[in-house]
Structure 1
Protein backbone atom coordinates (compact mmCIF):
# COMPACT_ATOMS: atom_id res chain seq x y z
CA UNK A 1 0.00 0.00 0.00
CA UNK A 2 1.24 3.49 -0.76
CA UNK A 3 -0.53 5.07 2.17
CA UNK A 4 -1.85 2.84 4.91
CA UNK A 5 -3.91 3.85 7.95
CA UNK A 6 -1.97 4.55 11.13
CA UNK A 7 -2.38 1.20 12.85
CA UNK A 8 -0.27 2.40 15.76
CA UNK A 9 -3.68 3.68 16.87
CA UNK A 10 -5.20 0.21 16.72
CA UNK A 11 -4.00 -2.69 18.85
CA UNK A 12 -6.66 -5.40 18.93
CA UNK A 13 -7.03 -7.12 22.30
CA UNK A 14 -8.21 -10.63 23.02
CA UNK A 15 -9.26 -11.82 26.52
CA UNK A 16 -6.32 -12.64 28.75
CA UNK A 17 -5.40 -16.27 29.37
CA UNK A 18 -4.36 -16.93 32.95
CA UNK A 19 -2.34 -20.17 33.03
CA UNK A 20 -3.18 -20.95 36.65
CA UNK A 21 -6.89 -20.60 36.00
CA UNK A 22 -7.31 -21.59 32.37
CA UNK A 23 -4.70 -24.36 32.13
CA UNK A 24 -3.56 -22.90 28.82
CA UNK A 25 -0.98 -20.38 27.64
CA UNK A 26 -1.26 -17.68 24.99
CA UNK A 27 1.45 -15.47 23.52
CA UNK A 28 1.77 -12.96 20.71
CA UNK A 29 4.83 -11.76 18.86
CA UNK A 30 5.26 -9.04 16.27
CA UNK A 31 6.14 -9.70 12.64
CA UNK A 32 9.18 -8.18 10.96
CA UNK A 33 9.07 -4.39 10.38
CA UNK A 34 8.44 -4.99 6.68
CA UNK A 35 5.09 -6.62 7.53
CA UNK A 36 3.65 -4.24 10.13
CA UNK A 37 1.29 -2.66 7.57
CA UNK A 38 -0.26 -6.07 6.95
CA UNK A 39 0.10 -8.34 9.98
CA UNK A 40 -0.68 -7.31 13.54
CA UNK A 41 0.88 -10.35 15.21
CA UNK A 42 1.59 -14.04 15.20
CA UNK A 43 0.09 -15.95 18.13
CA UNK A 44 0.24 -19.34 19.81
CA UNK A 45 -2.40 -20.95 22.05
CA UNK A 46 -1.27 -24.09 23.88
CA UNK A 47 -2.86 -26.34 26.48
CA UNK A 48 -0.93 -27.05 29.67
CA UNK A 49 -0.47 -30.57 31.08
CA UNK A 50 -2.81 -29.67 33.95
CA UNK A 51 -5.77 -29.31 31.56
CA UNK A 52 -8.05 -32.29 32.13
CA UNK A 53 -11.22 -31.34 30.24
CA UNK A 54 -12.14 -29.50 27.02
CA UNK A 55 -11.20 -25.83 27.01
CA UNK A 56 -13.51 -23.18 25.56
CA UNK A 57 -11.57 -20.35 23.98
CA UNK A 58 -13.48 -17.11 23.44
CA UNK A 59 -12.49 -14.80 20.59
CA UNK A 60 -13.92 -11.28 20.86
CA UNK A 61 -14.66 -8.95 17.94
CA UNK A 62 -11.45 -7.20 16.92
CA UNK A 63 -11.84 -6.15 13.26
CA UNK A 64 -9.16 -8.55 12.00
CA UNK A 65 -8.92 -11.68 9.85
CA UNK A 66 -6.95 -14.62 11.27
CA UNK A 67 -5.36 -17.73 9.84
CA UNK A 68 -4.76 -20.61 12.25
CA UNK A 69 -3.83 -24.28 12.39
CA UNK A 70 -3.10 -27.04 14.90
CA UNK A 71 0.62 -27.78 14.77
CA UNK A 72 -0.10 -31.51 14.62
CA UNK A 73 -2.18 -30.93 11.48
CA UNK A 74 -0.62 -28.02 9.54
CA UNK A 75 -2.38 -29.21 6.41
CA UNK A 76 -5.66 -28.05 7.96
CA UNK A 77 -5.31 -24.26 7.93
CA UNK A 78 -8.41 -22.19 8.63
CA UNK A 79 -9.33 -18.58 8.02
CA UNK A 80 -11.59 -16.67 10.39
CA UNK A 81 -13.21 -13.57 8.95
CA UNK A 82 -14.30 -10.25 10.41
CA UNK A 83 -16.62 -10.88 13.34
CA UNK A 84 -19.47 -8.71 14.53
CA UNK A 85 -19.80 -10.79 17.68
CA UNK A 86 -17.75 -13.09 19.89
CA UNK A 87 -17.01 -16.67 18.89
CA UNK A 88 -16.36 -19.66 21.15
CA UNK A 89 -14.14 -22.59 20.17
CA UNK A 90 -14.34 -25.78 22.29
CA UNK A 91 -10.84 -27.28 22.14
CA UNK A 92 -9.98 -30.85 23.09
CA UNK A 93 -6.86 -31.52 25.13
CA UNK A 94 -4.06 -31.44 24.12
CA UNK A 95 -3.99 -28.53 21.67
CA UNK A 96 -1.33 -26.31 20.17
CA UNK A 97 -2.52 -23.65 17.71
CA UNK A 98 -0.49 -21.07 15.84
CA UNK A 99 -2.13 -18.15 14.07
CA UNK A 100 -1.51 -15.06 11.95
CA UNK A 101 -3.65 -12.00 12.69
CA UNK A 102 -4.01 -9.68 9.69
CA UNK A 103 -4.80 -6.02 10.16
CA UNK A 104 -8.11 -4.77 8.71
CA UNK A 105 -8.13 -4.73 4.87
CA UNK A 106 -4.72 -6.45 4.59
CA UNK A 107 -5.84 -10.02 3.85
CA UNK A 108 -8.23 -9.05 1.00
CA UNK A 109 -5.60 -6.70 -0.39
CA UNK A 110 -2.83 -9.31 -0.50
CA UNK A 111 -4.90 -12.30 -1.62
CA UNK A 112 -7.87 -10.82 -3.51
CA UNK A 113 -10.44 -12.45 -1.21
CA UNK A 114 -13.76 -10.66 -0.68
CA UNK A 115 -13.85 -10.20 3.11
CA UNK A 116 -17.66 -10.15 3.16
CA UNK A 117 -17.70 -13.83 2.14
CA UNK A 118 -15.92 -14.66 5.42
CA UNK A 119 -17.77 -12.40 7.85
CA UNK A 120 -18.84 -14.24 11.02
CA UNK A 121 -17.45 -17.50 9.60
CA UNK A 122 -14.36 -19.62 9.62
CA UNK A 123 -13.51 -21.76 6.60
CA UNK A 124 -10.75 -24.10 5.42
CA UNK A 125 -8.15 -21.82 3.86
CA UNK A 126 -7.69 -24.30 1.02
CA UNK A 127 -11.20 -23.48 -0.20
CA UNK A 128 -10.51 -19.73 -0.07
CA UNK A 129 -6.85 -19.31 -1.09
CA UNK A 130 -5.43 -22.73 -1.99
CA UNK A 131 -1.96 -21.48 -2.91
CA UNK A 132 -1.59 -19.68 0.40
CA UNK A 133 -2.83 -22.74 2.30
CA UNK A 134 -0.29 -24.99 0.59
CA UNK A 135 2.53 -22.52 1.23
CA UNK A 136 1.71 -22.18 4.91
CA UNK A 137 1.51 -25.95 5.34
CA UNK A 138 4.95 -26.29 3.77
CA UNK A 139 6.40 -23.71 6.17
CA UNK A 140 4.78 -25.15 9.29
CA UNK A 141 5.20 -28.90 8.84
CA UNK A 142 7.24 -30.40 11.66
CA UNK A 143 7.35 -27.21 13.76
CA UNK A 144 5.47 -26.83 17.02
CA UNK A 145 6.94 -23.66 18.48
CA UNK A 146 6.20 -20.11 17.38
CA UNK A 147 9.77 -18.98 18.05
CA UNK A 148 11.04 -21.49 15.49
CA UNK A 149 8.29 -20.77 12.96
CA UNK A 150 8.30 -16.96 13.12
CA UNK A 151 11.35 -16.32 10.90
CA UNK A 152 9.93 -18.68 8.29
CA UNK A 153 6.58 -16.88 8.39
CA UNK A 154 8.32 -13.52 8.11
CA UNK A 155 10.22 -14.57 4.97
CA UNK A 156 7.13 -16.23 3.50
CA UNK A 157 4.88 -13.17 3.90
CA UNK A 158 7.64 -10.68 3.06
CA UNK A 159 7.99 -12.38 -0.33
CA UNK A 160 4.23 -12.14 -0.87
CA UNK A 161 4.12 -8.47 0.18
CA UNK A 162 7.12 -7.56 -1.96
CA UNK A 163 5.60 -9.17 -5.02
CA UNK A 164 2.26 -7.45 -4.50
CA UNK A 165 1.72 -4.32 -6.58
CA UNK A 166 -1.98 -3.45 -6.23
CA UNK A 167 -3.21 -0.90 -3.70
CA UNK A 168 -6.58 -0.63 -2.02
CA UNK A 169 -8.68 2.38 -2.97
CA UNK A 170 -7.15 5.40 -1.22
CA UNK A 171 -10.65 6.56 -0.25
CA UNK A 172 -11.19 3.36 1.74
CA UNK A 173 -7.83 3.79 3.46
CA UNK A 174 -8.66 7.39 4.31
CA UNK A 175 -11.99 6.35 5.82
CA UNK A 176 -10.37 3.58 7.88
CA UNK A 177 -7.76 6.04 9.12
CA UNK A 178 -10.44 8.55 10.17
CA UNK A 179 -12.32 5.85 12.11
CA UNK A 180 -9.15 4.70 13.87
CA UNK A 181 -8.13 8.24 14.79
CA UNK A 182 -11.59 8.79 16.30
CA UNK A 183 -11.40 5.52 18.24
CA UNK A 184 -14.58 4.45 16.48
CA UNK A 185 -16.46 7.36 18.05
CA UNK A 186 -17.32 9.12 14.82
CA UNK A 187 -20.48 10.56 13.27
CA UNK A 188 -20.29 8.84 9.94
CA UNK A 189 -22.67 11.14 8.07
CA UNK A 190 -20.85 14.34 9.13
CA UNK A 191 -17.25 13.38 9.83
CA UNK A 192 -16.39 10.56 7.44
CA UNK A 193 -15.26 12.63 4.46
CA UNK A 194 -13.57 10.24 2.04
CA UNK A 195 -14.54 11.63 -1.36
CA UNK A 196 -16.84 8.76 -2.26
CA UNK A 197 -20.58 8.18 -2.02
CA UNK A 198 -21.92 6.25 1.00
CA UNK A 199 -23.01 3.42 -1.30
CA UNK A 200 -19.58 3.08 -2.91
CA UNK A 201 -17.86 3.34 0.47
CA UNK A 202 -20.07 0.53 1.77
CA UNK A 203 -19.00 -1.63 -1.18
CA UNK A 204 -15.35 -0.93 -0.45
CA UNK A 205 -15.78 -1.75 3.24
CA UNK A 206 -17.66 -4.95 2.42
CA UNK A 207 -14.83 -6.18 0.19
CA UNK A 208 -11.81 -5.12 2.26
CA UNK A 209 -13.15 -5.08 5.85
CA UNK A 210 -16.10 -7.48 5.74
CA UNK A 211 -18.93 -5.18 6.87
CA UNK A 212 -20.14 -1.58 6.83
CA UNK A 213 -18.27 1.50 8.10
CA UNK A 214 -20.81 1.66 10.94
CA UNK A 215 -20.13 -1.90 12.08
CA UNK A 216 -16.36 -1.46 11.78
CA UNK A 217 -16.63 1.72 13.88
CA UNK A 218 -18.50 -0.21 16.58
CA UNK A 219 -15.75 -2.82 16.76
CA UNK A 220 -13.04 -0.15 16.91
CA UNK A 221 -14.95 1.64 19.67
CA UNK A 222 -15.30 -1.60 21.64
CA UNK A 223 -11.59 -2.34 21.26
CA UNK A 224 -10.70 1.21 22.25
CA UNK A 225 -12.66 0.79 25.46
CA UNK A 226 -10.81 -2.45 26.26
CA UNK A 227 -7.55 -0.55 25.87
CA UNK A 228 -8.49 1.86 28.63
CA UNK A 229 -8.28 -1.19 30.98
CA UNK A 230 -11.43 -0.26 32.86
CA UNK A 231 -12.78 -2.13 35.84
CA UNK A 232 -16.45 -2.88 36.34
CA UNK A 233 -16.50 -0.47 39.28
CA UNK A 234 -14.76 2.37 37.43
CA UNK A 235 -17.14 2.06 34.50
CA UNK A 236 -20.09 2.30 36.84
CA UNK A 237 -18.64 5.21 38.83
CA UNK A 238 -17.13 7.30 36.04
CA UNK A 239 -19.37 6.39 33.10
CA UNK A 240 -16.43 5.92 30.69
CA UNK A 241 -18.84 4.49 28.16
CA UNK A 242 -20.16 8.01 27.49
CA UNK A 243 -16.64 9.12 26.51
CA UNK A 244 -16.44 6.16 24.13
CA UNK A 245 -19.63 7.26 22.36
CA UNK A 246 -22.26 4.96 23.88
CA UNK A 247 -25.41 6.95 24.45
CA UNK A 248 -26.48 5.20 27.68
CA UNK A 249 -25.51 2.35 29.98
CA UNK A 250 -28.00 -0.12 28.52
CA UNK A 251 -26.64 0.54 25.01
CA UNK A 252 -23.09 -0.03 26.23
CA UNK A 253 -23.88 -3.26 28.11
CA UNK A 254 -25.79 -4.73 25.17
CA UNK A 255 -23.04 -3.97 22.65
CA UNK A 256 -20.28 -5.12 25.01
CA UNK A 257 -22.01 -8.44 25.65
CA UNK A 258 -22.55 -8.99 21.92
CA UNK A 259 -18.87 -8.49 21.13
CA UNK A 260 -17.31 -10.04 24.25
CA UNK A 261 -19.76 -12.77 25.18
CA UNK A 262 -20.10 -11.63 28.77
CA UNK A 263 -21.52 -8.52 30.45
CA UNK A 264 -18.84 -6.07 31.64
CA UNK A 265 -19.51 -6.97 35.27
CA UNK A 266 -18.24 -10.50 34.57
CA UNK A 267 -15.68 -9.76 31.86
CA UNK A 268 -13.81 -6.96 33.59
CA UNK A 269 -11.87 -7.19 36.88
Structure 2
Protein backbone atom coordinates (compact mmCIF):
# COMPACT_ATOMS: atom_id res chain seq x y z
CA UNK A 1 0.00 0.00 0.00
CA UNK A 2 3.02 2.35 0.11
CA UNK A 3 2.80 3.09 -3.64
CA UNK A 4 -0.95 3.68 -3.36
CA UNK A 5 -0.42 5.99 -0.39
CA UNK A 6 2.21 8.03 -2.23
CA UNK A 7 -0.04 8.34 -5.25
CA UNK A 8 -3.10 9.24 -3.15
CA UNK A 9 -1.13 12.02 -1.48
CA UNK A 10 -0.16 13.39 -4.88
CA UNK A 11 -3.68 13.37 -6.36
CA UNK A 12 -5.72 14.19 -3.24
CA UNK A 13 -6.22 17.81 -4.44
CA UNK A 14 -8.49 16.43 -7.18
CA UNK A 15 -11.18 15.62 -4.66
CA UNK A 16 -10.93 19.06 -3.07
CA UNK A 17 -11.06 20.83 -6.43
CA UNK A 18 -13.74 18.83 -8.20
CA UNK A 19 -17.25 17.91 -7.05
CA UNK A 20 -19.18 16.42 -9.98
CA UNK A 21 -22.96 16.58 -9.64
CA UNK A 22 -25.89 14.77 -11.24
CA UNK A 23 -28.84 17.10 -10.63
CA UNK A 24 -31.55 15.77 -12.95
CA UNK A 25 -33.78 14.17 -10.29
CA UNK A 26 -36.24 16.92 -9.34
CA UNK A 27 -38.92 17.47 -6.73
CA UNK A 28 -41.60 16.35 -9.16
CA UNK A 29 -39.90 12.94 -9.30
CA UNK A 30 -41.16 12.21 -5.79
CA UNK A 31 -41.33 8.46 -6.35
CA UNK A 32 -37.66 8.27 -7.36
CA UNK A 33 -34.78 8.81 -4.92
CA UNK A 34 -31.13 9.61 -5.67
CA UNK A 35 -28.51 9.42 -2.88
CA UNK A 36 -24.74 9.49 -2.63
CA UNK A 37 -22.47 7.72 -0.11
CA UNK A 38 -18.83 8.27 0.75
CA UNK A 39 -16.44 5.35 0.27
CA UNK A 40 -13.86 4.35 2.87
CA UNK A 41 -11.29 7.04 3.70
CA UNK A 42 -8.49 5.25 1.84
CA UNK A 43 -10.60 5.19 -1.32
CA UNK A 44 -11.68 8.82 -1.33
CA UNK A 45 -8.76 10.11 -3.46
CA UNK A 46 -9.93 7.64 -6.14
CA UNK A 47 -13.70 7.28 -5.80
CA UNK A 48 -15.87 10.37 -5.57
CA UNK A 49 -18.94 8.52 -4.30
CA UNK A 50 -21.16 5.51 -4.44
CA UNK A 51 -24.66 6.38 -5.59
CA UNK A 52 -28.11 4.89 -5.45
CA UNK A 53 -31.05 5.55 -7.78
CA UNK A 54 -34.24 3.75 -6.82
CA UNK A 55 -38.00 3.83 -6.95
CA UNK A 56 -39.97 4.16 -3.72
CA UNK A 57 -42.98 2.47 -5.29
CA UNK A 58 -43.89 1.09 -8.69
CA UNK A 59 -44.19 3.90 -11.20
CA UNK A 60 -47.23 4.34 -13.40
CA UNK A 61 -45.07 4.95 -16.47
CA UNK A 62 -41.43 4.07 -17.31
CA UNK A 63 -38.83 6.56 -16.11
CA UNK A 64 -36.44 8.52 -18.31
CA UNK A 65 -33.23 9.18 -16.41
CA UNK A 66 -30.84 11.78 -17.82
CA UNK A 67 -27.14 11.63 -16.96
CA UNK A 68 -25.28 14.90 -17.50
CA UNK A 69 -21.64 15.18 -18.53
CA UNK A 70 -19.43 15.06 -15.42
CA UNK A 71 -15.94 13.99 -16.53
CA UNK A 72 -16.09 10.72 -14.59
CA UNK A 73 -16.27 7.00 -15.31
CA UNK A 74 -18.95 4.97 -13.49
CA UNK A 75 -19.62 1.32 -12.75
CA UNK A 76 -23.32 0.65 -12.20
CA UNK A 77 -25.83 -2.19 -11.88
CA UNK A 78 -29.38 -2.93 -10.76
CA UNK A 79 -29.45 -4.64 -7.36
CA UNK A 80 -32.24 -6.87 -8.63
CA UNK A 81 -30.03 -8.10 -11.49
CA UNK A 82 -26.35 -7.79 -10.48
CA UNK A 83 -25.32 -10.33 -13.11
CA UNK A 84 -25.56 -7.45 -15.60
CA UNK A 85 -23.19 -4.73 -14.43
CA UNK A 86 -21.95 -1.96 -16.71
CA UNK A 87 -19.24 0.64 -17.05
CA UNK A 88 -19.94 4.05 -18.55
CA UNK A 89 -17.04 6.11 -19.84
CA UNK A 90 -16.33 9.81 -20.10
CA UNK A 91 -19.17 11.43 -22.04
CA UNK A 92 -19.05 14.78 -23.81
CA UNK A 93 -22.82 15.03 -23.95
CA UNK A 94 -25.80 13.98 -21.87
CA UNK A 95 -27.17 10.44 -22.00
CA UNK A 96 -30.75 9.30 -21.43
CA UNK A 97 -31.60 5.91 -19.98
CA UNK A 98 -35.14 4.54 -20.32
CA UNK A 99 -35.79 2.69 -17.05
CA UNK A 100 -38.63 0.39 -16.08
CA UNK A 101 -41.47 0.97 -13.60
CA UNK A 102 -39.29 -0.27 -10.73
CA UNK A 103 -35.52 -0.19 -10.33
CA UNK A 104 -32.75 0.02 -7.74
CA UNK A 105 -29.48 1.03 -9.35
CA UNK A 106 -26.18 1.34 -7.52
CA UNK A 107 -23.09 2.99 -8.95
CA UNK A 108 -19.44 3.78 -8.29
CA UNK A 109 -18.31 7.19 -9.57
CA UNK A 110 -14.55 7.36 -10.03
CA UNK A 111 -12.75 10.69 -9.97
CA UNK A 112 -11.12 11.64 -13.31
CA UNK A 113 -8.23 9.29 -14.30
CA UNK A 114 -8.84 6.85 -11.45
CA UNK A 115 -10.66 4.05 -13.26
CA UNK A 116 -7.76 3.66 -15.75
CA UNK A 117 -5.22 3.95 -12.93
CA UNK A 118 -6.88 1.22 -10.84
CA UNK A 119 -7.83 -1.19 -13.62
CA UNK A 120 -5.26 -0.42 -16.38
CA UNK A 121 -7.97 0.23 -18.96
CA UNK A 122 -7.62 2.82 -21.71
CA UNK A 123 -10.38 5.35 -20.95
CA UNK A 124 -10.71 6.31 -24.61
CA UNK A 125 -12.19 2.91 -25.53
CA UNK A 126 -15.03 3.60 -23.09
CA UNK A 127 -15.76 7.19 -24.09
CA UNK A 128 -19.32 8.16 -25.00
CA UNK A 129 -20.63 4.66 -24.43
CA UNK A 130 -21.51 2.06 -21.84
CA UNK A 131 -20.85 -1.65 -22.01
CA UNK A 132 -20.91 -4.79 -19.91
CA UNK A 133 -18.39 -4.63 -17.08
CA UNK A 134 -17.50 -8.29 -17.59
CA UNK A 135 -16.15 -7.43 -21.06
CA UNK A 136 -13.82 -4.78 -19.60
CA UNK A 137 -12.78 -6.02 -16.13
CA UNK A 138 -14.24 -9.51 -15.54
CA UNK A 139 -13.13 -10.04 -11.91
CA UNK A 140 -15.01 -7.04 -10.41
CA UNK A 141 -18.07 -7.98 -12.45
CA UNK A 142 -17.92 -11.49 -10.97
CA UNK A 143 -17.52 -10.07 -7.45
CA UNK A 144 -20.59 -7.86 -7.88
CA UNK A 145 -22.62 -10.78 -9.18
CA UNK A 146 -21.67 -13.01 -6.26
CA UNK A 147 -21.65 -10.56 -3.34
CA UNK A 148 -24.17 -7.77 -3.96
CA UNK A 149 -27.93 -8.12 -4.10
CA UNK A 150 -31.18 -6.39 -3.16
CA UNK A 151 -31.18 -7.90 0.37
CA UNK A 152 -28.21 -5.74 1.45
CA UNK A 153 -28.79 -2.56 3.44
CA UNK A 154 -27.17 0.59 2.10
CA UNK A 155 -24.51 0.39 4.84
CA UNK A 156 -23.68 -3.22 3.99
CA UNK A 157 -23.64 -2.43 0.29
CA UNK A 158 -21.09 0.36 0.86
CA UNK A 159 -18.84 -1.85 2.99
CA UNK A 160 -19.01 -4.65 0.42
CA UNK A 161 -17.97 -2.35 -2.44
CA UNK A 162 -15.26 -0.91 -0.18
CA UNK A 163 -13.84 -4.39 0.32
CA UNK A 164 -13.67 -4.95 -3.44
CA UNK A 165 -11.96 -1.65 -4.21
CA UNK A 166 -9.55 -1.81 -1.27
CA UNK A 167 -8.20 -5.09 -2.67
CA UNK A 168 -7.85 -3.51 -6.11
CA UNK A 169 -6.12 -0.50 -4.57
CA UNK A 170 -3.64 -2.65 -2.65
CA UNK A 171 -2.57 -4.40 -5.86
CA UNK A 172 -2.39 -1.30 -8.05
CA UNK A 173 0.70 0.27 -9.56
CA UNK A 174 0.07 3.93 -10.37
CA UNK A 175 1.46 6.25 -12.99
CA UNK A 176 1.92 9.47 -11.03
CA UNK A 177 2.80 11.64 -14.03
CA UNK A 178 3.15 15.24 -12.76
CA UNK A 179 2.64 16.55 -16.29
CA UNK A 180 -0.82 15.02 -16.50
CA UNK A 181 -1.89 15.87 -12.95
CA UNK A 182 -0.39 19.33 -13.14
CA UNK A 183 -2.55 20.00 -16.21
CA UNK A 184 -5.67 18.55 -14.57
CA UNK A 185 -5.21 20.57 -11.39
CA UNK A 186 -4.68 23.68 -13.49
CA UNK A 187 -7.98 23.08 -15.29
CA UNK A 188 -9.83 22.38 -12.05
CA UNK A 189 -8.40 25.34 -10.15
CA UNK A 190 -9.43 27.64 -13.01
CA UNK A 191 -12.93 26.07 -13.16
CA UNK A 192 -12.34 24.95 -16.72
CA UNK A 193 -11.69 28.47 -18.04
CA UNK A 194 -8.27 27.87 -19.61
CA UNK A 195 -6.43 28.37 -22.84
CA UNK A 196 -5.22 24.87 -23.62
CA UNK A 197 -2.24 26.08 -25.66
CA UNK A 198 -0.89 28.63 -23.17
CA UNK A 199 -2.19 27.67 -19.72
CA UNK A 200 -1.22 23.98 -19.70
CA UNK A 201 2.51 24.21 -20.26
CA UNK A 202 3.60 21.16 -18.27
CA UNK A 203 6.76 20.36 -20.18
CA UNK A 204 5.46 18.06 -22.90
CA UNK A 205 4.13 18.53 -26.41
CA UNK A 206 0.45 19.06 -27.18
CA UNK A 207 0.38 15.63 -28.81
CA UNK A 208 1.81 13.91 -25.73
CA UNK A 209 -0.61 15.76 -23.44
CA UNK A 210 -3.53 14.74 -25.63
CA UNK A 211 -2.37 11.12 -25.52
CA UNK A 212 -2.24 11.20 -21.70
CA UNK A 213 -5.68 12.79 -21.43
CA UNK A 214 -7.24 10.33 -23.85
CA UNK A 215 -5.83 7.32 -21.99
CA UNK A 216 -6.52 8.46 -18.42
CA UNK A 217 -9.53 10.78 -18.83
CA UNK A 218 -11.14 9.59 -22.06
CA UNK A 219 -10.97 12.72 -24.20
CA UNK A 220 -8.83 15.77 -24.87
CA UNK A 221 -7.85 18.38 -22.29
CA UNK A 222 -10.05 20.87 -24.17
CA UNK A 223 -13.15 18.70 -23.87
CA UNK A 224 -12.41 17.93 -20.22
CA UNK A 225 -12.08 21.66 -19.49
CA UNK A 226 -15.48 22.29 -21.12
CA UNK A 227 -17.09 19.68 -18.89
CA UNK A 228 -15.41 21.15 -15.79
CA UNK A 229 -16.68 24.61 -16.75
CA UNK A 230 -20.20 23.23 -17.20
CA UNK A 231 -20.07 21.41 -13.87
CA UNK A 232 -18.93 24.58 -12.12
CA UNK A 233 -22.02 26.39 -13.41
CA UNK A 234 -24.24 23.55 -12.18
CA UNK A 235 -22.83 23.88 -8.68
CA UNK A 236 -23.32 27.65 -8.74
CA UNK A 237 -27.06 27.18 -9.50
CA UNK A 238 -27.48 30.61 -11.11
CA UNK A 239 -30.88 32.15 -11.64
CA UNK A 240 -32.11 32.81 -15.17
CA UNK A 241 -31.98 36.52 -14.37
CA UNK A 242 -28.30 36.37 -13.43
CA UNK A 243 -27.55 34.37 -16.55
CA UNK A 244 -29.26 36.93 -18.77
CA UNK A 245 -28.45 40.25 -17.11
CA UNK A 246 -25.22 39.70 -15.20
CA UNK A 247 -23.52 38.05 -18.18
CA UNK A 248 -22.32 35.10 -16.13
CA UNK A 249 -21.57 33.26 -19.35
CA UNK A 250 -18.76 35.74 -20.11
CA UNK A 251 -17.17 35.11 -16.70
CA UNK A 252 -17.40 31.37 -17.37
CA UNK A 253 -15.47 31.77 -20.61
CA UNK A 254 -18.27 31.60 -23.18
CA UNK A 255 -18.26 33.92 -26.18
CA UNK A 256 -21.91 34.89 -25.89
CA UNK A 257 -25.22 33.70 -24.54
CA UNK A 258 -26.06 31.62 -27.62
CA UNK A 259 -22.75 29.75 -27.32
CA UNK A 260 -23.39 29.13 -23.62
CA UNK A 261 -26.94 27.84 -24.14
CA UNK A 262 -25.87 25.52 -26.98
CA UNK A 263 -23.04 23.96 -24.99
CA UNK A 264 -25.10 23.71 -21.80
CA UNK A 265 -27.91 21.93 -23.64
CA UNK A 266 -25.40 19.51 -25.18
CA UNK A 267 -24.07 18.58 -21.73
CA UNK A 268 -27.40 18.62 -19.84
CA UNK A 269 -30.12 17.94 -22.39
CA UNK A 270 -32.21 21.05 -21.64
CA UNK A 271 -31.64 24.81 -21.64
CA UNK A 272 -30.20 26.55 -18.54
CA UNK A 273 -33.53 28.22 -17.71
CA UNK A 274 -35.30 24.86 -17.71
CA UNK A 275 -32.51 23.14 -15.77
CA UNK A 276 -32.48 25.71 -13.00
CA UNK A 277 -36.26 25.99 -12.90
CA UNK A 278 -36.48 29.76 -12.75
1:86 and 1:262 map into 2 onto residues whose CA distance is: 10
2:223 counterpart residue number: 215
Q: 5 Å matches for 1:1-269?
A: 1=7, 3-4=10-11, 5-18=13-26, 20-49=28-57, 51-269=59-277
1:246 and 1:20 map into 2 onto residues whose CA distance is: 31
Residue 232 (structure 1) shift: 1.6
Which range moves more in the overlay, 3-12 or 244-253?
3-12
Q: Is there any run of 5+ residues in structure 1 with no aligned partner, and where? A: none
Q: Is there any run of 5+ residues in structure 2 with no aligned partner, and where? A: 1-6
Check whether the contact 2:58–2:101 (CA below 8 A) recurs between aligned residues. Answer: no
Q: Number of matched residues?
A: 269
Residue 231 (structure 1) shift: 1.6
Q: TM-score, normalised by structure 1?
A: 0.96
1:70-117, Cα deviation, whole Å (9 max, x unpaired): 101111110000000000001001111000000100000100111000
Aligned pair in 2 of structure 1 residues 143, 102: CA closer, same or farther (>3 Å)?
farther
Q: TM-score, normalised by structure 2?
A: 0.93
1:161-212, Cα deviation, whole Å (9 max, x unpaired): 1221222422111111111111100111111121111000100101000000
After TM superposition, which residue ranges in structure 1, 4 or more long, deviate above 4 angstroms? none
